[in-house]
Amino acid sequence: EIVLTQSPGTLSLSPGERATLSCRASQSFDSINLAWLQQRPGQAPRLLISGASNRATGIPDRFSGSGSGTDFTLTISSLEPEDFALYYCQHYGSSPPLYTFGQGTRLQIK
């Protein structure tokens, strides 16, 4: 089972700033199997990015994903107030089928 480690645990930034969130895997895998989710307080998570870099429907272009192998990054180019939330990276493994999540990065207002 692949273990995902997200850093930092908490990121304190101001609106308008750039956010860079990291997700590191315990072993290399195909980037098609990496996704990013956002969870606002009191809400269900929502899909931001699939396949490491493909924005989901309706996701603003200030969100971008990159990376390969064991190191993946979610970047928010200019923070809006609604972006302060929890972010999870997620891996899909096919042998056997298993979805695993990082422990999350909390993005909070500075």
Binding site for other proteins (CB under 8 A): 35, 37, 43-47, 50, 56-57, 88, 90, 96-104
DSSP-derived secondary structure letter, 88: E
Asked if residue 66 lies in contact with residue 73, where contact means CB atoms within 8 angstroms, the answer is yes
Using the minimum distance from each CB to other proteins, give the nearer residue, 16 or 42: 42
E-state strands within 1-110: 4-7, 10-13, 19-29, 34-39, 46-50, 54-55, 63-76, 86-94, 97-101, 105-109
CB 45 to other proteins: min, Å: 6
CB 44 to other proteins: min, Å: 4
Using the minimum distance from each CB to other proteins, give the nearer residue, 19 or 91: 91
Using the minimum distance from each CB to other proteins, give the nearer residue, 16 or 97: 97
